[in-house]
Structure formats: structure tokens, C-alpha cells
Amino acid sequence: MKLVAQRPAAVSQSISGPPSRWDYAVDRVFRLLAQGGTWLVLLLLAAIVWEIGVKAAAAVGRYGVHFVTSSTWDVGRQQFGVLPHIWGTMYSSLLALAIGGFFGIAMAIFLTQDFLPPRLANVFRIVVELLAAIPSVVYGLWGLFVLVPAMRPLADAAYHRLGWVPFFSSTLSGPGLAPASLVLAIMILPTVAAVSQDALRLVPYRVKEAAYGMGTTRWEAILKVLLPAASTGIFGALVLGFGRALGETMALAMLIGNSNHITLSLFAPANTLAALLALNFPEAGPREVEVLMYAALVLLAITLLVNLLGEAIMRRSARRLAAR
């Protein structure tokens, strides 16, 4: 075999034989190398948390809990609070989750439940994958020049007719929460769709057959049997999509308008933690960098928590279905 022929000729002239001392040495070194590489990956995560934590320590000491409960961000007066950013992050992500989650799950059902001939199903599968492949800055550009102008008449009509509803209590003067959340929804749709598809595929085929055997229509089988069976996995998909939305930066930095107000209005500008970091870091002085590091720490904590939750749910759903 090629494998033996390639051994160093100096070791042995025979075409077979036990590994030489050299081979064992190489083996040991390579194994240590692989182990070292794995340690490095672990260290990388630790280093990220450590670097951000250490650089934020001064600001954590100075501002403490007040930082996450205060809503002024004033570099001149050295007052910093990220409550509006946390609010904006949560609000935009939840909106995006509601929209992107709905369409993502619909897409997953559409693609897994034999609605389509295989070739057409492939077209939609490619659509979902392309949606995931387009860089977020391009979505931001599209949002600025296509979505915002397209939404403005609708938003203004909603404001004039339904201005008393808190959600419509302002006009869309440019960037705002609604276009930002819509773009965010488009961006998490592929995540939700992909993970929910996996969850739906995990449901054994005989479960569906059993439902049909009982005389259900296709949708009764989907709504009453398949979705409940895959519910844990789909919930995990939503949590992972939510985590994606929380950390998404560029589309929001371009579309949300960067205003530190807490408002329910969908058309008012707002701000998010990630956008705050992206917009303020490039011009930050040393004092402000500490504060931004604190904001990064808050974002890190929130996303870690959400992602861990998502992973835990996914693992539970896989185990539950495997046990069945």
C-alpha cells in the first residue's frame, strides 16, 4: 500500500514492519500538538472572557449595577448607562423572533412535509441558504435604500390612523426599530428554518403514518402530532435564532437610528448593545473604552445565557426523541 511505501527508506528496506522509533516519536509529537490545539481553542474562549472582563473591570467598579439601570449616555459628563440599549436589543430581537420565527417554522414545515416536488423544494432550500449567505452589511444597505423608503408611507398611515396605539406613536423619519427588526427577522429566518427542519426530520416517519392511519388530514397530523413531537427542538431553534438576533450588529447599526430612548413605538429610532459597540469603539477615548468593554461584557453575558439555554434544549430534545 501507498502508506507503507511512503515510509522513510532509511528506516527499513522491507515493505512492511512495525513502526520505527522515529514513527513513534512523530506520533507522540503530533498527538501532543493536537492536544495543544484543542487546549488553545479552550484558552481562546477563556481569553475572550478574560480580556473583556479585565478591560471592563475599572468601569464595573466605577459604575456597578447603576450601569444597567441608568439610561443616560453622556460622554461629556461621564455618565453611562445601557438600559435603553438593553431594551432596544431585547425589543428588536423579540420582534425579529416573532416574524422570523413564524416564517422560519412555516418554511421548515413546507420543506419537510412533502408539500413540494423535490426539484421545487430544492429551489426553496437554496433560497433559505442564500438568505443566510448574504452578509449583514448588504442587508443593512438594502434596508437603508429599499426597505425604509418602502415602509415610510405605511408607517405614516399607521401613525395618522392609529397614533394613539403606543406601537405607532411616531412617524418613521428614517432609520427605526421596525425596519431594523424586519431585516433582523430575515437574517434569523435561515437559522430557525434549518434547526426546525432538523427537529421535524427527527420525528420518526411511523409517527406520521400512525396519525394518517387514524384518519387525520395532513394539517391535523402536522399541528396535532408532528409539531408537538418536535416542539422541544423547534423551541431550541427559536432560542438559537434569538441568540443570533441579540448579537447581530451591522444591520442594526445601520438601521436602528442610534437614539438612546426607551419607547414602545415601532417607528422611533432606538439602539442596541451591539450597535453601541460598533458605532462608538472606533472613536472612543481610553475612558470610554472601559465603559464600552463593560457594555460588551453585558452583551456577552446575555448571549452566552441564551445560547447555553438553546443548546441545552436542543440536547434534551435529541435525547427525548432518541429514547422513544
Q: How far apart are CA 255 and CA 174, in angstroms?
A: 8
Residue type at position 27: D
Give least dist CB 230 to other proteins, A.
16
Give per-residue burial for 14-43: e unless 16+ CB within 10 Å, then b. eeeeeeeeeeeeeeeeeeeeeeeeeeeeee
Tell which one of 62, 307, 318, 321 touches other proteins (CB under 8 A): 307
Tell which one of 244, 256, 263, 291 touches other proteins (CB under 8 A): 244
Based on CB atoms, which residue is closest to other proteins, 263 or 293?
A: 293
Long-range contacts of 222-227 (CB under 8 A, 24+ apart): 222/109, 222/113, 226/113, 226/200, 227/109
Binding positions for other proteins, 131-160, rule CB under 8 A: 131, 133-142, 144-146
Tell which one of 278, 287, 318, 321 touches other proteins (CB under 8 A): 278
Based on the shown chain and the rule CB under 8 A, indicate whether residue 66 belongs to the binding site for other proteins. Answer: no
Residue type at position 42: L
Q: Length of the chain, please?
A: 324
Based on the shown chain and the rule CB under 8 A, indicate whether residue 204 belongs to the binding site for other proteins. Answer: no
Based on the shown chain and the rule CB under 8 A, indicate whether residue 124 belongs to the binding site for other proteins. Answer: yes
Q: How far apart are CA 149 and CA 137, in angstroms?
A: 18
Binding positions for other proteins, 258-277, rule CB under 8 A: 274, 277
CB 212 within 8 A of CB 162: no
Tell which one of 176, 179, 243, 257 touches other proteins (CB under 8 A): 243
Based on the shown chain and the rule CB under 8 A, indicate whether residue 210 belongs to the binding site for other proteins. Answer: no
Based on the shown chain and the rule CB under 8 A, indicate whether residue 39 belongs to the binding site for other proteins. Answer: yes
Tell which one of 156, 247, 316, 318 touches other proteins (CB under 8 A): 247
Binding positions for other proteins, 97-116, rule CB under 8 A: 102-103, 106-107, 109-110, 115
Question: What does the CA dihedral 205, 208, 210, 211 come to, rounded to 10 degrees?
Answer: 180
Tell which one of 86, 148, 155, 186 touches other proteins (CB under 8 A): 186
